[in-house]
Amino acid sequence: KASEAQSKAAKEGQETQLHMFEQTKELLAPYVDAGENSLSAQMGLIGLNGADEQKKAIQQLESSPQMQSYTQQGENAILQNASATGGLRGGNTQAALAQFRPQMLSQLINQQYSNLGGLTSVGQNAAAGTGNAGKQTGTNVANLQQQAGAAIAGNNIAQGQAINQGINGLAGAYGMSAGINGGF
């Protein structure tokens, strides 16, 4: 009965370990997914998913509300400054306006890549955490399986020893009986 209890406890421990691992995976899954999505977006932004994907990613940034707001504010600031200084129609103002949008888009691309990099790191860390939890769960389950096997083996050995002792006891009793009865 002791070995059955030990074996049962080891199997319950295995089930608990596997359940906890599944919970850990479930908790980390959104972070892993976010990391995968942001890595894909980073790759698209720098052209690793092909030129069409890169063009699409840049166009999305260029037409985003963020870009529209930044460029409107920046261009208004350039025009207000030129108006205040009397250079509204000057070449410097036109050059500043011509350079402003491309510079703003470049900054936004770099900012977006950096922001995505943060999410990619979060996802990478979550994936590593899931892998470590899986490794630890595997080790714990293997140890519990070994304990269950040892309990069963110990029970079998004990039964064998008990049977052996019983046989030896009977043989000894027979031998004593035969010696007392003159060899029979």
Q: Which of 155, 127, 150, 148 is nearest to 17 (CA)?
A: 148
**Cβ atoms 178, 184 nearer than 8 A:** yes
**pLDDT score, position 40:** 96
CA distances from 150 to 52, 97, 116 (A): 61, 79, 51
DSSP string, 42-72: HHHHTTTT-HHHHHHHHHHHHTSHHHHHHHH
Report the distance separating Cα 15 and Cα 23, nearest Å: 12
pLDDT tens, 60-79?
A: 999 999 999 999 999 999 99
**Which has the minimum average pLDDT: 62-66, 133-137, 163-167, 168-172?**
168-172
Q: Tell me: the pLDDT tens digits for 86-142? A: 777 778 888 999 999 999 999 999 999 999 999 999 999 999 999 999 888 888 888
Q: Would you state the structure tokens that stand for residue 76, as one six-digit string?
A: 């208004």
